[in-house]
Amino acid sequence: MELLDGKRISDEIKGEIATEVEKIKKEGGKIPRLVAILVGHDGASETYVGHKEKSCNQVGFESQVLRFEDTITEVELLQEIEKLNNDPLVDGFIVQMPLPKHIDEQKVIEAIDPRKDVDGFHPINVGRMVIGLPSYISATPDGIIELLRRYKIETSGKHCVVLGRSNIVGRPIANLLSLKAYPGDCTVTVCHSKTPNIKEFTKNADILIVAMGKAEFVTADMVKEGAVVVDVGITRVKSDKTKSGWKLLGDVKFDEVAPKCSYITPVPGGVGPLTIASLLKNTLRAAKKEIYG
């Protein structure tokens, strides 16, 4: 069994991006600039945005966080988005989710210029991804693809089972792995909350991707010997064994599943660290106008 070390791969990708930024600087080019819109004071969102800002500094990007109170109206937020769409100094921007209930998230996503949509949430980017055109791919599925690629995991002809059908993980990764590509060329099954006998599917998975948000859902009896297991879940639970009083659990019961696997991601330290690396990669591609010219 080998661990898929997301932290190591993330550092590798950040190093490659930093080298490119150095080159851009030397040649007198424009430094990539990422802006994050943060509405309200959600603790997890503050943490994510803080990590994103720190990572931008690490690779030499310019970054900015635009903060608004959760009293901002939908119209006002859409106006802020329009300003960023029209600002030539901003290469890419994200609107941190979730948004307050009075704001329609889908409307916000669709207001972002697809050329600056480095989260890859706009239907134009999603549609382009599905038919295999160059696009911004959202952070988690892109992180999974990078892990498979950089560990040179064989995917062609494999049966990949995805647990979860969310727009930001399950659905995009299922599409990506079915494309004629590497990593890809898989036969993909998507299971979800209405799938009866999930175990009958997971037992046949060469590659099992779990993104359901149910702590320790996948047990050893559900996994085939030699499978590749990618765990996207993170649930914070109370623990009397850690200093903080909390620990993070994945969707996979790691201790019993790991011995059966050829490769498995740890939680934390698996897919999580790669998501920011993917966002930085998208921002660099936006600055270089690689996708839309």
Would you count residue 144 as binding ligand GUN (CB under 6 A)?
no
Site residues (CB under 6 A) for ligand GUN, limited to 25-64: 48
96 contacts ligand GUN (rule: CB under 6 A): yes
Binding ligand GUN (rule: CB under 6 A), the pick from 21, 59, 77, 94 is 94
97 binds ligand GUN per the rule CB under 6 A? yes
Give the DSSP H/E element, type plus range, for residue 248: strand 246-249
β-strand pairing of 159-163 with 246-249: unpaired
Residues 6 or more apart in contact with residue 247 via CB below 8 angstroms: 236, 237, 239, 241
Cβ closest to ligand GUN, residue 111 vs residue 227: 111
Measured distance CA(287)–CA(51) in Å, rounded:
21
**CB-based contact 116:85 (threshold 8 Å):** yes
Considering beta carbons, is residue 20 or 105 the nearer one to ligand GUN? 105
Quickly list DSSP for 163-187.
E---TTTHHHHHHHHHSSSSS---E
The phi, psi pair for 34, rounded to 5°, reads: -115, 130
Which residue, judged by CB position, is nearest to ligand GUN in the bound state?
A: 97
Which residues are part of the catalytic machinery?
Answer: 52, 96, 119
Q: How many CA atoms lie within 13 A of 271 on its CB side?
A: 23
* Residue with Cβ nearer ligand GUN (119 or 206): 119
Residue placing its CB nearer to ligand GUN in the complex, 48 or 263: 48
Residue 234 binding ligand GUN, by CB under 6 A? no
Of 119, 142, 146, 251, the residue at the interface with ligand GUN (CB under 6 A) is 119
State in angstroms the smallest separation of the CB of 222 from ligand GUN: 27
Kindly state the helix (H) or strand (E) to which residue 24 belongs, with its residue range.
helix 6-26
Q: Which region among 8-16, 26-34, 90-98, 263-271 touches ligand GUN (by CB under 6 A)? A: 90-98
Residue ranges in contact with ligand GUN by CB under 6 A: 48, 94-97, 119, 139
